[in-house]
Chains A and B, each alone.
Chain A
Amino acid sequence: MVSSFGVDVSPIITLRALVKQFGRFAALRGVSAEFAAGRLYVILGDNGAGKTTLLRALAGLAHPTRGSISILGTTDVRSVCHELGYMAHPSLLYDEMSGMENLRYFARLYGLADSSRDADNMTALGLDPALARPVAQYSQGMRQRLSLARALLNDPKILLLDEPFSNVDVRSARAMVALLAQMRDNGKTIFVVTHQAALLEGAADEFVWMEAGQITHRSRELQPVETR
């Protein structure tokens, strides 16, 4: 059951009875929700709740088995992909290239020739753009931050982040949260899947709990999940 908030802004993302099945396993079972623009949403839940699948469906990587997704007013997710930024648990980076080389390459995929913004993004995340070391030699935390920089390349309206803080030290994590909050203040809509919800307690607009492929409840406050 979803508790709505009487949103006064038209939703940027609408899910209608979204179902995603892999053979017999139902990762998402009829998720219906609306998400407003310019908010920071934190998605919580146990392993297997469907959080990653939901993010992948929003990114256009997983085709819904049933139901529909409407992003920025269209059900064709591919057509608005330039407004999406996606970060997953695997780094989605080339281990053999340096950080800047990775960003420059992915920028070309978006038709961006100007690399100055990439350097700024990296610096904002505490990474050194001049570092020539290949990503394979990065620490896990550095890799996470570079992956986030890649997701920000095209200055997307909607950010989809899957476990951005795993293996990141507390200080860097807090810096990332501050950056996310700043981006939200500038009008971006951000979805964060994480197990470390406490990090986002001050910054998040709404917490969304998922269980067994459905959204169980949503709340402004990070309350302890009711145990059964």
Chain B
Amino acid sequence: MFLLSICQWVDSTRLNTVMRQSNWAFPTLDTVHTLGIVLVAGTIMLVDFRLLGLGLRSVPVVTVVARVVPATLWGFGLMFVTGGLLFSSEAVKMYHSPAFRIKLLLLALAGLNALIFHRTIYRDAASWDPDARVPTRARLAGLLSLVFWIGIIAAGRAIAYAPGYDLG
């Protein structure tokens, strides 16, 4: 139970006490966290739509990626920092939450999917014919990304419905 002892340690830190004693820390961070996820998923969806041929078809894939991904990374930074602080306020509870575990798993899958996409098929993206469909593997990466991010949003919201969790 290595992970559990880490969570127990997090719950014993001063950060945890500060988070719990403040009436404002949790709702404020929760709000920024939600906006961060909206920023990440909302921008990465544009890349996914382009890969799937559903939108921005007049713009080359590399151009869409170059412009959209910086906004995605800003959102990810926001989401990561606020998410870490939210976690620190109830680490053991999160350890026991199935929705939280599913969310982390989906995050890892989304990251892995993006990493594989960028390291393999995307290397040749500059030479893709702008008017043709993108290669099937790239379309698959786009579809998986959409599914993972919708899943992350759903699992994140579901954390609030875990038994014993009272957010209102």
Genuine A/B complex: no
**Chain B contact residues, CB within 8 Å of chain A:** none
